[in-house]
């Protein structure tokens, strides 16, 4: 399977920019990202950093979904699938949709080989805030309602296996029966 995202990136040597249409991209290794995340956590705490990253990625997810809706004529379910392919093409991991129920307003994902969890290696809290935020934004845009995202399982906490994410309209998280851990609040 090719990588449409990478195929469409344009390197502007003159300006030192990597562009995808009007959007500039920055390539950085997961190890560099994790060092920044750990340093920020040491200064301000894991919960605060997690929420900051989550909210930033959620805003991006909202924006991207608007762009996807403009550029693609797809039903809601297919826009979520498109976002899953996009995340894979970014190198974030292989995203698999395990449950997508628009009527119930719930979305569940598994992410295999999360770049963030694998680079972080071992943590006492979930670390995949960008994945959680991106898909919370996507799901929020498609539902038209405020959404909460939860990383129910993180490879950096629980060891080998996929990271698992759940998304639902705000206030509906109790339906999952999940205890919230640090990094998810």
CATH superfamily of 31-176: Trafficking protein particle complex subunit 3 (3.30.1380.20)
Mean predicted lDDT score pLDDT of the chain: 88
Question: Does residue 34 contact residue 42 with C-beta atoms inside 8 Å?
Answer: no
Closest by CA to 6, choosing from 67, 79, 69, 90, is: 90
Segment 99-135, tens digit of pLDDT: 999 888 899 999 999 999 999 999 999 999 999 999 9
149 and 173 Cβ atoms separated by less than 8 Å: no
CA pair distance 137, 175, nearest whole angstrom: 20
Residue 53 has pLDDT above 70, yes or no: yes
Task: Name the pTM for this structure.
Answer: 0.88
Q: What is the pLDDT of residue 182?
A: 44
The model's pLDDT over 139-158, given as tens digits with 9 standing for 90+, comes to 999 999 999 999 999 999 99
């Amino acid at each position: 399977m090719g990588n449409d995202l990478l195929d469409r990136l344009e390197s502007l040597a003159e300006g030192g920019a990597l562009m995808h249409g009007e959007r500039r991209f920055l390539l950085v290794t997961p190890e560099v990202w994790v060092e920044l995340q750990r340093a920020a956590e040491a200064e301000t705490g894991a919960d605060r950093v997690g929420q900051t990253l989550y909210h930033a990625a959620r805003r991006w997810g909202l924006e991207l979904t608007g762009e996807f809706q403009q550029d693609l004529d797809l039903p809601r379910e297919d826009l979520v699938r498109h976002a899953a392919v996009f995340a894979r093409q970014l190198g974030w991991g292989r995203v698999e949709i395990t449950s997508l129920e628009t009527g119930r307003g719930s979305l569940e994902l598994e992410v295999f080989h999360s770049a963030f969890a694998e680079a972080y290696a071992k943590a006492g809290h979930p670390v995949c805030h960008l994945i959680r935020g991106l898909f919370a934004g996507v799901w929020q845009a498609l539902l038209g309602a405020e959404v909460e995202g939860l990383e129910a399982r993180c490879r950096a906490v629980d060891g080998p296996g996929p990271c698992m994410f759940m998304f639902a309209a705000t206030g509906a998280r109790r339906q999952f029966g999940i205890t919230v851990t640090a990094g998810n609040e």
